[in-house]
Structure 1
């Protein structure tokens, strides 16, 4: 249950917080932290917000979540109020929840819209205009009281294997649908609750045959569905779905970040202490090689230099993680930047068949960090082909998907061993055996997920391996987190 709550809070496209029974904040998402900074005019460590009374910065104070906390039942509705110089138009849902320590708490979810909502059309228009809702990892849908689909976001389309919402809008997905738990009358449980205007929190099984799945793999969703009521009129329902398989992946990413933070702490403390004696050893080895008149002794000094060079490469990789700086953003032509990088690499590997298909488009990114990503992934692909007897092939593609750019880098080498697939982005896990530092993919993972706020994954089988990564087309100007500047991860 805790993993579900964390996924819900951190990915909700609006204010999302967990309060304990004394109205103290136990966890919140980025929007809650940003609101605090905006209202209080001060920057604090997000972890310092834990156990703070919500009324310290929110004008509604203990009104929020009060009914849900006192009755133990969900509370939902629509409210308009002023918060300083901000006009708030909020569709809200407060859900009772058991906290980690077993005490009672409440999950507060607020959809915030720029204009007052008067009717169902206004809600639909507001959803379509809200990019945070559309790009949320939560599957968000809007239904009228008859169960007809009025809106679905990108997560619904992606998980259903659909390119657009044409096949879903206006459809009643609950009448006689085999993909949902059904009652005797043929209506699904979800459909019944929507038509009655009731709250529902349950798990739903979506089969491959369902229209909402379009032949994709079956999946299980944790679903929260609450009615939309404005001025005592029931207009429809909002459904929030959480793919349990995706939650498991998200939980692994959180653990991945924690391991990265441990590496950063270690690096920050010891890296400079290591480099000074290494430089002295390197200087002595160079001097010994010059002074020596015997080939055998010279080879010993060469081995020392080679070992120090390997350690230095390791330290350089750690520096990438431990001591980042501000993004240096510029607008570039993606195909030109990629072609420059790939031409420089491919000219040294004539035995490899190279195929590039990079879309021509303008994008905003940090050129040096982007180059680091491509070089590491391409070097990895080249190493995978080292012992390949048949045709060696590397294919690199890019495509625009909404506001994101998706890249794929394929190599025809051997399958990545099963024993390291789950830990491939972990520090010191190497696909190159003893020839790598085991930090190249960790560096790539860190840059893509933490700096660019993107995603990276791979597919590997007997036909080869493809690494995919996705970043925003227009990267925002943000400060890259450093050891001395605790970055936001949600209130813990």
Structure 2
């Protein structure tokens, strides 16, 4: 251990000698304590000079000094902010003076009476230890203050909105970015729990997240929409964590990142991929629409012919009104009967219903195709809602059928699965991208198998084909943006966008393939986002 460096301010050489001897001789007697080195200053002025040149660990100052008194020396030491404790040394009967010295900044005092030299080393050891402990405490507290100030600045000027809530959901702290994103000043939100910031559709999602944090459960970032002061929708990626003090959860801290621009770009990319997918289906869709149009057109020709025949028959019936001679009635009835036979009225009436039913079926088929294409192609900004994955697969298969036509057989192996919280049209886009790839991988005739089941509280969708498959190098890049094996005819966005959609649903998408043996895409989705 380093020695304790003592400066003893004493004008009496005898007393100085006694103290030096006491400290040096007691060095080994004070168990587990530090040794001493002792320097002497004969006056207050000499003390001040030494302090300007040397660093001491403790100062012993005799109260009765010439010119500068002990209190004067103490005052100067404190004024100069010298970093060492002062012990005042007084004569017998000067205890009141010693106490006064402590009030002015001395850390302890010693009365020169009786066997005062015996406890002196331990007294000095304790004063130095307490002073160093207090000094270290001040250093730690200052470092903590600086750290807290730094953290406050980091929070205040962070690029993300940061806030804390108490157990009642009232705001306890918000930073500058929070004000910027929401448009509300901190004084408007502090202490309030009823701020209508969250779009209603996302309220339940946020409440569930907060309840999990209150139970101490971990969580993942998720996306919500808030309404700012101007009434504008702002997309936020929100992360929350519990605030813990003394082992207890006392609130929630949240970090919100404005991802509005990113969402716009994502939506534009998703929309571009949708339109690209639809573009690949144009020929098949045209064929599907042309078929009902063709027989509706044919039926219209027949309906026009039947209308002419029925009109001519009605003309004969109207002639009955103009007959003046009852004898003409019999011949008029015969003409009507001949006309009915000529146009085969029973067949016409029966065929009319069939033609109308066929035309109605064709119109409904066209309407269904258009409706499903519109639903698939629309830009979606709605929140996650529960949907039946089997139904979404059926809708997608009806669209993909325009691509499959008669050359690809579809096997459906649907399991009984619960509904999933999702963007239904986005998942349909993923399914369609995979199905289009399957169609293009099958050169002539083949089979696409669509299977669904529940496993480990997740919904699993497997879409397999028996097409040409992929080699390992292709599979490494299959989800890379703009990677395509179809040359200029492909955008390279389909599977990359699909990967992003599934990730935003907190799901997984994997591919297993082998050249000339087909490909299987596996999608896993949580039931609740």
The two structures share one fold, judged by TM-score above 0.5: no
Q: TM-score, normalised by structure 2?
A: 0.31
Greater radius of gyration (CA): 2
Q: Which has the higher contact order (CA 8 A, sep 6+)?
A: 1
Q: TM-score, normalised by structure 1?
A: 0.33
Which structure shows the higher helix fraction?
2
